[in-house]
């Protein structure tokens, strides 16, 4: 079975062609219309990109991915995300589904991040705790089987990735500067500028990162008032302290989820999982406190938004139940689609 | 949510009328917004301004409560725009990542902005000043 994956939920336009045979995935094509160059030119993300550029980039990408081939199934991100961007991908997929008479599946973007893990590893055991952390999402789920989820908790305000990016902006590292902040943090001393851990004393699995960003701002304003020099050392220490707080909250809440639910696996995904400190701390957590739980996270390439993960999630839906040829009629964008609200989304 | 105890000032400018509120916490800022929401009928465009951490998202959370929206209001920075459907719907736009006014149209904001039954709240609205209606209500937040 070959699956064409299409992802256009936010800034990236991505198309992938994946084949699934005898329990194994092969990635045949993995294309992203890179806006990195555009971004660099403007010194930030230019999400004009968001809707208009998706529509320009998508068809050429699909042509490039397929050549003369036709997939057996189409999988497209139909939510959550920016409604106008989602529409470009979904309408394109619907049209192709109708023209080619190939069934189509609407995939949840969060589910895609989680299924990025299954591209190289299919033998992941359930139940599992799932941690998805990106620029737009921070959530913990309980996964009981393929397509069976329960939401444990999500962020009440900003996502963890957003906390990285906005923190970087406050520290003058540009926007989005999350990766730059993490790099500097590696050279810093996290104990010099401690930051609060919002929500740790609140029971449950919810996150809050907006207040952390604010405390960084206040700290910086106070230091400026005292005329403290922002040397490289000071900035690195601030980055380390700030990152430590973000990571600590993620790890602590994950630990709480693992204590509350007896599971075999911890499955992680999303752009923030490319952060080496977070990977290290999660590995340490399992080694120290949950030795029976296996940790999974995708390669850095598959952590960020891509279409391979959408195709992989689509494949699992198709294996469970192949959609009808006219499934496209019923697929619509859902900008605020909560994965757990759709318990049997297959 | 901001659980800080810093003082904030909230200015609400509706036409010629300027209201000023000083609040002692994020909770109080939310309460002001909630009260303010009760005066809205749909179709209003709220132009929010204030620095990172000044309480813009906190204000919008209060606004949503006042409009009877029960789902959590999360940051729209990443996806640029979130729409919450209710009797009076809330369209929450973040212009932080937008570089020009045209970008606002490219994300389809004109489908919601100023439409009947929709209150539109724009954060970092100064970046798209030319597209705001003349009767936009200006809300400025500042940390004291």
Give the span between the Cα atoms of A25 and A312, in whole angstroms.
8
In this prediction the ipTM stands at: 0.82
Residue B4: pLDDT above 60?
no
Average pLDDT of the segment spanning B6-26: 89
A338: closest CA of chain B, how far (Å): 11
Residue A36 has a pLDDT of 46
Would you state the pLDDT for residue B96? 86
Ramachandran assignment for B124, one of left (phi > 0), alpha (psi -120 to 50 degrees), beta (any other) = left
Q: How many CB atoms are closer than 10 A to CB A262?
A: 11
Locate the chain A residue with the closest alpha carbon to B57: A157
Residue in B with minimal Cα distance to A158: B75
Least confident residue range of A19-33, A53-67, A329-343, B92-106: A329-343
What is the Cα–Cα distance from A72 to A61, expressed in whole angstroms?
18
Q: What is the pLDDT, as a whole number, of residue A51? A: 64
| C-alpha dist (Å) from residue A131 to A123, A128, A159, A214, B22 | 18, 10, 12, 24, 39
User: Which residue from A302, A201, A297 is spatially nearest to A253, judged by alpha carbons?
Assistant: A201
Could you report the per-residue pLDDT of A67-123, keeping only the tens digit for each? 999 999 999 999 999 888 899 999 999 999 999 999 999 999 999 999 999 999 989
pLDDT at res. A341: 57
Identify the residue with better confidence: A342 or B6.
B6
pLDDT higher than threshold 90 for residue A199: no
Are A80 and B79 inside 8 Å of each other by CB?
yes
pLDDT score of A146 more than 80: yes
Q: Say whether pLDDT at A23 is over 50.
A: yes
Cα–Cα distance measured from residue A215 to residue B53, given in angstroms and rounded to the nearest whole number? 8
User: In this predicted structure, what is the pLDDT of residue A37?
Assistant: 45
What 3-state DSSP class applies to A181?
helix
Contact A45 B53 (CB under 8 A): no
B92 - beta bridge partners?
B82, B121
pTM of the complete model: 0.89
Cis previous bond, A29, omega within 30: no
Do A172 and A178 meet the contact criterion of CB atoms below 8 Å apart? no
Statement: residue A152 has pLDDT above 90: yes
Relative orientation angle of helices A276-289 and A178-185, to the nearest 10 degrees = 60
Q: How far is CA B116 from CA A246, B40, B119, in A?
A: 40, 11, 8
Distance, in angstroms, between A291 CA and closest chain B CA?
A: 34
Neighbours of A95 (CB within 10 A): 11
- Average pLDDT value over all residues in chain A: 91
Res A246 pLDDT > 70: yes
Q: Do B52 and A169 count as a contact with CB atoms less than 8 A apart? A: yes
- What are the residues facing A108 on neighbouring strands? A79
Q: Using CB atoms, which residue from B4, B80, B106 is nearest to A52?
A: B106
Apex CA B51: angle with CA A8 and CA B137, to 5°?
A: 85
**Is it true that the peptide bond before A134 is cis, omega within 30 degrees of 0?**
no
Residue of A nearest to B4 (CA): A211
Q: What is the pLDDT of residue A12?
A: 83
Weakest mean pLDDT among A90-94, A339-343, B71-75: A339-343
């Amino acid at each position: 079975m070959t699956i064409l994956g299409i992802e256009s939920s936010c800034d990236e336009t991505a198309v992938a062609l994946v084949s699934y045979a005898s329990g194994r995935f092969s990635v045949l094509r993995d294309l992203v219309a890179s806006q990195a160059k555009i971004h660099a030119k403007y010194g930030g993300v230019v999400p004009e990109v968001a809707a208009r550029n998706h529509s320009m980039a998508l068809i050429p990408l699909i042509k490039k991915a397929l050549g003369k081939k036709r997939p057996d199934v189409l999988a497209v991100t139909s939510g959550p995300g920016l409604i106008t961007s989602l529409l470009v991908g979904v309408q394109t997929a619907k049209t192709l589904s109708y023209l080619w008479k190939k069934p189509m599946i609407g995939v949840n973007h969060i589910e895609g991040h989680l299924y990025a893990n299954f591209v190289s590893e299919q033998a992941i055991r359930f139940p599992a705790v799932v941690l998805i952390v990106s620029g737009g999402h921070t959530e913990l789920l309980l996964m009981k089987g393929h397509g069976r989820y329960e939401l444990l908790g999500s962020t009440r305000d900003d996502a963890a990735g957003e906390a990285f990016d906005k923190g970087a902006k406050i520290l003058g590292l540009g926007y989005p500067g999350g990766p730059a902040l993490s790099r500097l943090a590696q050279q810093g001393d996290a104990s010099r500028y401690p930051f609060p851990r919002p929500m740790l004393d609140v029971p449950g699995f919810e996150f809050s990162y907006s207040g952390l960003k604010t405390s960084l701002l206040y700290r910086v304003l106070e230091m400026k008032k005292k005329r403290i020099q922002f040397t490289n050392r000071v900035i690195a220490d601030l980055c380390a302290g700030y990152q430590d707080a973000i990571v600590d909250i993620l790890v602590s809440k994950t630990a709480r989820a693992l204590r509350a639910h007896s599971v075999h696996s911890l499955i992680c995904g999303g752009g923030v999982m490319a952060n080496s400190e977070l990977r290290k701390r999660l590995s340490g957590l399992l080694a120290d406190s949950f030795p029976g739980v296996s940790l999974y996270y995708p390669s850095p390439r598959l952590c960020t938004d891509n279409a391979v993960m959408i195709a992989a999630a689509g494949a699992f839906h198709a294996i469970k139940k192949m959609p009808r040829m006219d499934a496209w009629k019923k697929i619509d964008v859902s900008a605020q689609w909560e994965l757990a609200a759709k318990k049997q989304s297959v | 949510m901001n659980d800080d105890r810093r003082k904030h000032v909230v200015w609400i400018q509706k036409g010629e009328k300027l209201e000023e509120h000083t609040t002692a916490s994020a909770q109080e800022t939310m309460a002001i917004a909630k009260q303010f929401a009760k005066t809205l009928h749909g179709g209003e465009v709220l132009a929010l301004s204030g620095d990172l951490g000044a309480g813009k998202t906190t204000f919008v959370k209060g606004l949503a409560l006042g409009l009877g929206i029960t789902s959590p209001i999360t940051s729209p920075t990443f996806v640029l725009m979130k729409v919450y459907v209710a009797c009076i719907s809330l369209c929450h736009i973040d212009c932080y990542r937008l570089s020009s006014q045209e970008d606002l149209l490219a994300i389809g904001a004109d489908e919601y902005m100023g439409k009947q039954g929709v209150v539109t709240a724009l954060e970092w609205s100064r970046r798209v000043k030319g597209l705001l209606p003349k009767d936009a209500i200006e809300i400025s937040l500042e940390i004291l």
